[in-house]
Amino acid sequence: MAGEGVDLPASVMQHPFVVHVMVIDMGKNFLCMALGLYGALLTSHLPTKKAVALLLACQSSWAMFIAWGFASPKAEDATKPYLQIMMSPLLIGVCGIPILLLVSAALTASEPTKSKKK
C-alpha cells in the first residue's frame, strides 16, 4: 500500500478503514487463488477454464493499473510517460507476465484429441 519513499505513521496503519481495506484485499487474493485452482485442477470444461483465465487476466490488468498509480505518488513522476512507469521490472514480473500467459493460454487452448486405438 505504501510506496517507496512514503512514510505512514503506525496510527494510520491501525486505522479501522485501513485494516478493513487490507482484509478485503486479502479476501480478494484468496478468491483469485481459489478461482485459479478450480480452473486448473477441478474442472475439465474448456470454456470454463478459458473464462477463469480471462477473469484472472482482467484482475491482474486492474492490479497493474492501480499499482502504477501507487508506484508514482511523487509529483515529478506524474510527468513521466505512462509506459516508462509501466515498464518497471517489478510490475512486468508480478502482473505483466501472468497477463500474457493467461491470455495466450485462453486463446490457444483446445480440447484434447482422443487417440484412436486399433
User: Rounded to whole angstroms, how far apart are CA atoms 74 and 4?
Assistant: 10
pLDDT number for residue 43: 87
Percent above pLDDT 70 for the chain:
72
- With 0-12 / 13-18 / 19 or more C-beta atoms within 10 angstroms meaning exposed / middle / buried, residue 51 is middle
Q: What's CA 103's distance to the chain center, in Å?
A: 12
pLDDT for res 1: 43
Tens-place pLDDT, residues 74-98 = 566 666 665 665 666 777 777 788 8
**What is this structure's pTM?**
0.66
Residues 6+ apart with CB under 8 A from 33: none
- Low-confidence residues in the chain, pLDDT < 50: 1-3
